[in-house]
Structure 1
Amino acid sequence: MSNPSQTPGPLLTAAQSFDTVLWNDSADLDELSQSISFGGVGATCNPVIAYTTISKHPDIWKARIQEIADANPTWGESEIGWQTVKNMSVEAAKLLEPAFEKYNGRNGRLSVQTDPRFHRDAKKLADQAVEFSELAPNIVVKVPATKVGIEAIEDATYRGVSMNVTVSFSVPQAVKAGEAIERGLERRKAEGHDISTMGPVVTIMCGRLDDWLKSVVARDGIYIDPSALEWAGVAAFKNAYRIFQERGLTARLLCAAFRNVLQWSEFQGGDVVVSPPFKWQQIINASDYEPVARMDVPVDEYYINQLRRIPDFNRAYEEDGMSVEEFETFGPTAKTLRQFLNADADLDALVRDILVPAP
């Protein structure tokens, strides 16, 4: 059922009713503008999103990529591609400046992802985080929740960068990342720096955890009520939220990699960020759903007990389910890192096709 045009949809109603905030999982300017009208106060960009946006709007971006290449005649495809990501990010960040000012830096931020090819080098990740944070005042920078990444997250936070922890699927990753941010903030504060306008977030890619567990169940022949598999990411997120609240960690949790509406509806009422792709925002906002506070409502024990049949769910759900050294080899981490690395290659190829078109 569609809402009458004069009646706020569920997204705006939720934004006006709860501390839960909406960020758009894209830097596409058309989508972001509409998301802002739904109450959106943040967005994200990375090579995957840049590739999608360029492919969607070739009439705009092919010419702009050629302009970047013409202005930098010695640059290769990767440098041109990343400059495109930077330009796209700056433009999207501009749309979010009003929210940035309204929320004193806590919202109104545009997430930019560090180069996944640096995933083995903490210094390069932290240095690039500082570089990206200087693109605009309201940038928040993504670094993966691996052992190396967590080292970079603390360093970059200490150097004044608001972080968005990414490639994160589990309670142990989220907690270790939140603690690293806290250490960085405390070190910065101890040296007399103002941290009041910093806006760190820690992502749990709820849908990608669901995806992974579904593949594990099929691979290993685990008998389980399939409906429970829609609740794994929700359960991990709620457990991490409880820990963050109990320990007073500064960073907010952010739900990404949207797969079902539970990953929006179940988090309403929490002091968290939910970042669905725009198509899911349209589905939610065209519905007759009435948002209610559900963040503190536990996932039904029936689903938890079903999910506990999967060893990787327990690794993701329990705070001590994995050591920091195990983060990089956790199934969804390795799979997502590979996808992000492939996205860099795809963006390079797209730029190459523009600069050297096939005969």
Structure 2
Amino acid sequence: MTTNNPLASLSEAGVSIWLDDLSRDRINSGNLAELIRDYHVTGVTTNPTIFAGALAGGRAYDDQVRELAARGASVDAAVKELTTTDVRNACDLFRDIYHATDGIDGRVSIEVDPGLAHDSEATAAEALDLWKTVDRPNLLVKIPATKAGLPAITRTLAEGVSVNVTLIFSTERYREVMDAFVSGLEQAKQRGHDVTQIHSVASFFVSRVDTEVDKRIDALDGAAAESARSARGAAAIANARLAYAAYQEVFTSDRWQELATAGARPQRPLWASTGMKDPNYRDTLYVEDLVVAGTVNTMPEKTLYATAEHGSINGDKVTGTADAAEKVFATLRQAGIDVADVFRVLEDEGVQKFEKSWAELQTTVREQLAESQR
């Protein structure tokens, strides 16, 4: 890697590059440190699927599993210790970046149990517990942007805890997320918390929108199919660009300016699910076409390396694009595609996928604990 590469250009354009993956092997082997040093990686996001794969994929956790088994730890307690250990160690790796960027970057995310996605009180309680357990200032606790998640986001921020809001698909829900964020900071300020130390990102999912919309376009026929053809492969980028326009509106409002005067930081948009799922599209599409300063792009390793090798970063591709983005969705609606239903399906599927991964993670840990006790 040279300093003159697409990832350097992306960073210089004001986009924070985070890795959407974490494992003990990645930490212990020095790979994560290498990505920080050579690939401009300034943060990490995790989710239940990532941890399920990490625990099932190697022997790096064996010593800790044996120690947990000897203590008679329950499956849930073991899952918590195994995952928070990785996150704590990753936070320590990013400590210098955290300090150098005044807390903007150097962040590591851990998600609450997705089974709590529809229980506000339980979600908020677990978020606070994870914050205390990891005990690192550069942690972000991930809370899903379900209807029940919104009050949990506000409650968690009001306690001074930094939050990564995940599973956002629609601009309508995103506006609710931003309102929950601002409300949380207002309450934190009233309670005497230092709002300059409370950070948040809003993870707006990208690729899954194209996957679902393209599937619906392909199911059309006749005139409807013809009219919708131009929107194939365009909905995800358009959706993210509309989200950014909403972000600009909220964080220039009079309500926000009161908090900004007190030193509060805006909730940065984070482009998530940026790995390309359709081989017919450019594998770096969701990086190149979402360049705008003040955002985060969290990439799977494959997308990170692809961007480093052949990405083309050509400045801001988002600011001022809302009108063109609206036309994409007008085209979809005219063709008879229920856009609101697209987002409902994606949110439900997102929660279900993470619940399934969480169950797989529990099963893996249960089996490993039993093996250690033989």
Q: Give the TM-score of the pair, scaled to structure 1.
A: 0.86
Aligned CA distance change for structure 1 residues 125 and 31 (closer, same or farther; 3 Å): farther
Aligned CA distance change for structure 1 residues 331 and 310 (closer, same or farther; 3 Å): farther
Instruction: Give distance in 1, aligned partners of 2:185 and 2:250.
Output: 15
**Sequence identity, in percent?**
24
- 1:266 corresponds to 2:300: no
1:6-33 deviations in Å (ceiling 9; x for gaps): 3432012221x22221111012335533
- 1:235 corresponds to 2:238: yes
The number of equivalent residue pairs is 339
In structure 2, the residue matched to 1:282 is: 305
Answer whether contact 1:45 1:85 (CA < 8 A) is retained. no
In structure 1, the residue matched to 2:175 is: 175
- 1:311 corresponds to 2:324: no
TM-aligned CA deviation for residue 118 of structure 1: 1.3
- 1:150 corresponds to 2:175: no
TM-aligned CA deviation for residue 262 of structure 1: 2.3
In structure 2, the residue matched to 1:319 is: none
Answer whether contact 1:203 1:256 (CA < 8 A) is retained. yes
TM-aligned CA deviation for residue 263 of structure 1: 1.5
1:98-109 matches, within 5 Å, as 98-109=96-107
Aligned CA distance change for structure 1 residues 293 and 34 (closer, same or farther; 3 Å): farther
Answer whether contact 2:288 2:313 (CA < 8 A) is retained. no
SS state of the match for residue 223, structure 1? Answer: helix
TM-aligned CA deviation for residue 133 of structure 1: 1.8
- 1:355 corresponds to 2:350: no
Q: 1:13 aligns with which of 5, 9, 13?
A: 9
Structure 1 residue ranges without an equivalent (≥5): 317-326
Aligned CA distance change for structure 1 residues 84 and 288 (closer, same or farther; 3 Å): closer
Instruction: Give distance in 2, aligned partners of 1:41 and 1:215.
Output: 34
- 1:123 corresponds to 2:149: no
Answer whether contact 2:43 2:105 (CA < 8 A) is retained. yes
**Consecutive aligned runs of 4 or more in structure 1 exceeding 4 Å deviation:** 218-222, 224-227, 299-305
What root-mean-square deviation, in Å, do the aligned CA atoms of Structure 1 and Structure 2 show?
2.4
In structure 2, the residue matched to 1:52 is: 53
Query: What amino acid does structure 2 have at the position aligned with 1:18?
Result: A
Structure 2 residue ranges without an equivalent (≥5): 257-265, 277-282
In structure 1, the residue matched to 2:273 is: 257
Answer whether contact 1:122 1:151 (CA < 8 A) is retained. yes
Query: What amino acid does structure 2 have at the position aligned with 1:13?
Result: S
Q: Give the TM-score of the pair, scaled to structure 2.
A: 0.83
SS state of the match for residue 237, structure 2? Answer: helix
Instruction: Give distance in 1, aligned partners of 2:336 and 2:245.
Output: 22
Aligned CA distance change for structure 1 residues 337 and 78 (closer, same or farther; 3 Å): same
Query: What amino acid does structure 2 have at the position aligned with 1:8?
Result: N
Aligned CA distance change for structure 1 residues 298 and 315 (closer, same or farther; 3 Å): farther
Aligned CA distance change for structure 1 residues 310 and 280 (closer, same or farther; 3 Å): farther
In structure 1, the residue matched to 2:261 is: none
